[in-house]
Amino acid sequence: MTGCAVNNGWRWRSGVVVLWAVALCGIALQCTRSDASNQKAEGGRKPAATVKIYSLEGKGYQVVEKVVKTEEEWKKQLTPEQFRVTRQKATELACSGPYWNHHQDGVYQCVCCGTDLFDSKTKFESGTGWPSYFAPVAKENLRLERDTSFLMERTEVLCARCDAHLGHVFDDGPEPTGQRYCMNSVALRFVAR
């Protein structure tokens, strides 16, 4: 009997020691995470994500940092309509934007970060009331995502550098690509050539 009581007591003490060890490891891990968060908040910088984009002005590909801002920072930079469309994925009214019936020679850039998106040479009249292009400056400058909002299945077009919502792409455009990049005017900034 005494042996059993000693063994049970030993097992109980061992269990307590193991539980304390696990608890101390958990506390140490939490402290490490807290220190890492504090370092970031105090100016210790996490390496920025990068993206490869094509620049018409630079006539080539460049690796640039992704543009990441808070909602408040975007609100200070953009008009309310630009913010609503690019950051909240809204759609401007057809025929309301400055570029749906625009015919100057130049480049359409992202209004949020200035990335080259479309050359005016690829713009065409789609009859939709939104500026439409059959090809981007470079596929790398855009990011495509599946969009199932409003009980529809579409392909959303975003800026690869800052994730701004630009519009949608459809497979009903003219040759040579057969695509129609249907963009919101307020998501774009035009730079004349």
Spans of all domains in the chain: 69-192
Q: 96 pLDDT exceeds 70?
A: yes
Q: 27 pLDDT exceeds 90?
A: no
Q: Tokens at residue 34, please? A: 């807290």
* pLDDT of res. 143: 97
Q: DSSP string of 87-119?
A: TT---PPTT-STTTT---SEEEEETTT--EEEE
- CATH value of 69-192 in 3.40.630.30, 2.170.150.20, 3.30.70.1520, 1.10.10.10: 2.170.150.20
Q: 85 pLDDT exceeds 80?
A: yes
Task: Give me the active site residues, please.
Answer: 182
Average pLDDT over residues 155-184: 97
- The better pLDDT of the pair 24, 102 is held by 102
* pLDDT of res. 44: 53
* pLDDT of res. 79: 97
Q: Which are the contacts of 102, defined by CB distance < 8 A and separation ≥ 6?
A: 123, 131, 185, 190
Exposed/middle/buried for residue 116 (C-beta within 10 Å: 0-12, 13-18, 19+): buried
pLDDT mean across residues, the chain? 83
* pLDDT of res. 39: 40
Evaluate the CA torsion angle 167, 59, 113, 82 in order and state its sign: negative
Reported as a pLDDT band with limits 50, 70 and 90, residue 173 is very high
Q: 22 pLDDT exceeds 80?
A: no
22 residue type, one letter? V
Q: Which of 80, 86, 158, 176 is nearest to 122 (CA)?
A: 176
Reported as a pLDDT band with limits 50, 70 and 90, residue 45 is low
Residue for token pair 């984009």: 53
Q: 29 pLDDT exceeds 50?
A: no
Q: Which of 63, 59, 100 is nearest to 187 (CA)?
A: 100
Q: 8 pLDDT exceeds 80?
A: no
In the chain, the percentage of residues whose pLDDT exceeds 90 is 70
How far apart CA 77 and CA 144 sit, in angstroms, is 24
Average pLDDT over residues 90-111: 96
